[in-house]
Each structure stands twice: as C-alpha cells, then as structure tokens.
C-alpha cells in the first residue's frame, strides 16, 4: 500500500483517482482549493480513515507531513470556458504549481505523474497525434494560457527528471468524460447532455465537422495508474481513439437521452482544434496493452444517469 498525494483531487478526474486509490487500499492525501473542483466530489471519502484533505492552492509552498510514495499532479482548470475566465490562475498552476509539486516530489523522493493534455498538440497538423509530434499551438491565443502552461509543465517535469533524478511520468489526456463533470463547465459532454435532458437546443459550435475522441473516465484512470507505476520516462497519450465529429456526437447524445431537442449552430471558438485523435500505440506497448474497454455509448449512458439525477435534485 502506498501513500499518495493527489493535487486537484476534488476535481472531475482527481476525485475518480482518489476513489480508485482508496478502493485499492492506499492512503490518499487530496489537495484542492475548490477553484473548479467541488467538495461534493470528495464528500463520500471523508468517512475513510485513509483519506485526508488539505484545502490549499498549490501555486504556494506545499507542505505535506510524513512520507509520500507518489504524487498525481492534477490541479488545473481544464475546460476552455474555465481557462478563458481564469487565465492567470491557469498559467500559475501549470508553471508555479508544477514547480512547487516537483520540489515536493524531490524532497520526499516520491515519483510524480503530471497530468498533461492533448492541447500540447494545439490545432494539430499531424493526425492522429503521436507523442513525437511537437504540436501547433498559438501561444498568444485564448487557449494559449492552458496549452503553454501545460507545455511548460512538461518541460520543467523533464528538467527535474534529468537534473535531479526525480522519477517523473507524463500523461497526455485526451477528451475524457463521466460522472462528476460539472454541469456548467462549458465542455461539450455536460453541455450536450444537460441541454438534451432539459429539452433545450443542443449548441453545436461551427458546422460541427471538427472531430474529438472521447474516453470514459474509468479507462483513463486505469491508464494513468499503469503509467504511474511503469518505467516509461517520457509522455504517453491516454485516450479513446474512436474519433467522431461534434455533429455526430450531438446526434448520439440526443438519441441516447431520448430527447426531442433540436440542434442549433453557434460560432466556433477561436483556435478550436479541427481534429483530435490519440495514437495509443505507445500506451499499448508500455502499459501492458492498455486500451479503452468501455464503449462510448455505455459511458454516455452512465454519465446521462448522473446528470439526470443532478437535474432532478436541483428541480
């Protein structure tokens, strides 16, 4: 059993990591400042003796008493709407926050896994994206605050590995969905599901011809934990390679919810990537044949039930 720190542990992916790590019998310390995370996501863990919560902003000095075996660094706004509203915090947590957490890993001799993103590939000119592609990012565009923060985070993580011998892992996370996403976080999955369940118009940005590839959260968590304990020192894509257009995705959600919602088109956000699909050959090779096992339809059905219950609670 290990003693593991999860930064951003009250967020969507962070809370699923905490849950899984606790279920495996580990001791979990969760840090979050609730900027975009929520106490509701971790409320069920408070009864567990092996769970500890520290409310803190990781861009400041991070103090954690006792030994640590591993750190999962997941603190960051992660929805395009969030990082448009929180540009400085997004840059600070990716840069200063990652620096602080790497310092903690060095001090504790803990291995550390950085949550990076497919956004490091920007609006990609190589398709599907492989880890050796360096990306096409607009540094001064509205998404640049997230993309460049994560690119810096990868750079400083590799520097701590090379200069200080810290054991580091980097996961590049592609679009992921599941229960505990915030209904109003602005991302396509909560937007479409909430709109469809309420019978409102489903808002497809642009002509909907842009593509994404959606991974259910339990598959992502499995990939992350395999990577954490693996010996692979450079970034690994983790995501579902099943690619579809946003318009196809809207139709799928309308069908799965049994909704009568109409599709309307809204302007495409600036620098919205035109295509995105992970090449997961590396993950398969170095993570013991890791690949997604939950079909998108099944993951969506579970997520729809979660949002349906939330909407009924608030009614």
* Residues in region 224-283 near ligand UDP by CB under 6 A: 246, 268-269, 272
E strand or H helix at 205: strand 202-205
- Indicate the burial class of 53 (C-beta count within 10 angstroms; 0-12, 13-18, 19 or more): middle
204 binds ligand UDP (CB under 6 A): yes
**Least Å from the CB of residue 229 to ligand UDP:** 28
**Least Å from the CB of residue 102 to ligand UDP:** 25
Selected range binding ligand UDP among 37-45, 57-65, 100-108, 204-212, rule: CB under 6 A = 204-212
With respect to ligand UDP, which residue has the nearer C-beta, 48 or 245?
245
Indicate which single residue of 7, 33, 98, 210 sits in contact with ligand UDP (rule: CB under 6 A). 210
Indicate which single residue of 18, 115, 149, 188 sits in contact with ligand UDP (rule: CB under 6 A). 188
Size of interface with ligand UDP, in residues (CB under 6 A): 14
Per DSSP, helices labelled H in the chain are: 12-23, 39-42, 80-85, 87-92, 98-108, 144-164, 188-198, 217-229, 246-257, 281-286, 296-314
Q: Which pair of structure tokens corresponds to residue 93?
A: 């947590």
* Residues in region 7-66 near ligand UDP by CB under 6 A: none
Residue 41's DSSP bridge partners are none
**Least Å from the CB of residue 197 to ligand UDP:** 14
Kindly give the interhelix angle for 188-198 and 296-314, rounded to the nearest 10 degrees.
Answer: 60
Greatest distance between any 2 Cα atoms in the chain: 57
Indicate which single residue of 187, 220, 235, 307 sits in contact with ligand UDP (rule: CB under 6 A). 187
Residues annotated as catalytic (active site), given as ranges: 146
CB 174 within 8 A of CB 215: yes
Length of the chain: 315
With respect to ligand UDP, which residue has the nearer C-beta, 161 or 240?
240
Asked if residue 203 has a cis previous peptide bond (ω within 30° of 0), the answer is: no
Indicate which single residue of 36, 76, 191, 259 sits in contact with ligand UDP (rule: CB under 6 A). 191
76 binds ligand UDP (CB under 6 A): no
With respect to ligand UDP, which residue has the nearer C-beta, 160 or 174?
174
Burial 185-201 (b: 16+ CB within 10 A, else e): bebbbbbbbbbbbeeee
**Least Å from the CB of residue 139 to ligand UDP:** 17
Residue carrying structure tokens 């894509």: 237
**Least Å from the CB of residue 225 to ligand UDP:** 23
* Residues in region 102-161 near ligand UDP by CB under 6 A: none
Q: Which pair of structure tokens corresponds to residue 25?
A: 């019998």
Indicate which single residue of 59, 90, 168, 175 sits in contact with ligand UDP (rule: CB under 6 A). 175
Angle at 154 between CA 149 and CA 57, to 5 degrees: 55
* Residues in region 81-100 near ligand UDP by CB under 6 A: none
Q: Given the rule CB under 6 A, which residues bind ligand UDP?
A: 80, 175, 187-188, 191, 203-205, 210, 212, 246, 268-269, 272
């Amino acid at each position: 059993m290990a003693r593991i720190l999860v930064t951003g542990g009250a967020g969507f992916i962070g809370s699923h990591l905490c849950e899984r790590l606790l279920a495996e019998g580990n001791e979990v310390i969760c840090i979050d400042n609730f900027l975009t995370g929520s106490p509701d996501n971790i409320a069920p863990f408070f009864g567990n003796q092996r769970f500890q919560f520290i409310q803190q902003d990781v861009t400041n000095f991070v103090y954690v008493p006792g030994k640590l075996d591993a750190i999962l660094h997941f603190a960051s706004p992660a929805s395009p709407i969030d990082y448009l509203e929180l540009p400085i915090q997004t840059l600070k947590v990716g840069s200063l926050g990652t620096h602080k957490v790497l310092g903690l890993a060095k001090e504790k001799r803990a291995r550390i896994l950085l949550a990076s993103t497919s956004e490091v590939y920007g609006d990609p000119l190589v398709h599907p994206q492989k880890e050796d592609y360096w990306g096409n990012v607009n540094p001064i565009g509205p998404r640049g605050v997230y993309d460049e923060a994560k690119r810096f985070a990868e750079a400083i993580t590799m520097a701590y590995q090379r200069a200080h011998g810290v054991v580091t892992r980097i996961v590049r996370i592609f679009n992921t969905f599941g229960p505990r996403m915030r209904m109003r976080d602005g991302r396509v999955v909560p937007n479409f599901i909430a709109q469809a369940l309420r019978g409102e118009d489903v808002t497809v940005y642009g002509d909907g011809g842009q593509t994404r590839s959606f991974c259910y959260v339990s598959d992502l968590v499995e990939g992350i934990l395999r990577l954490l304990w693996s010996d692979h020192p450079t970034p690994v894509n983790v995501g579902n390679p099943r690619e579809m257009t946003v318009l196809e995705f809207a139709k799928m959600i309308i069908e799965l919810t049994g909704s009568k919602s109409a599709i309307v088109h809204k302007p495409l956000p600036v620098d919205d990537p035109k295509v995105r699909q992970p090449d997961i050959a590396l993950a398969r090779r170095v993570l013991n044949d890791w690949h997604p096992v939950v079909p998108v339809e099944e993951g969506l059905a579970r997520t729809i039930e979660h949002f349906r219950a939330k909407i009924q609670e608030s009614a």
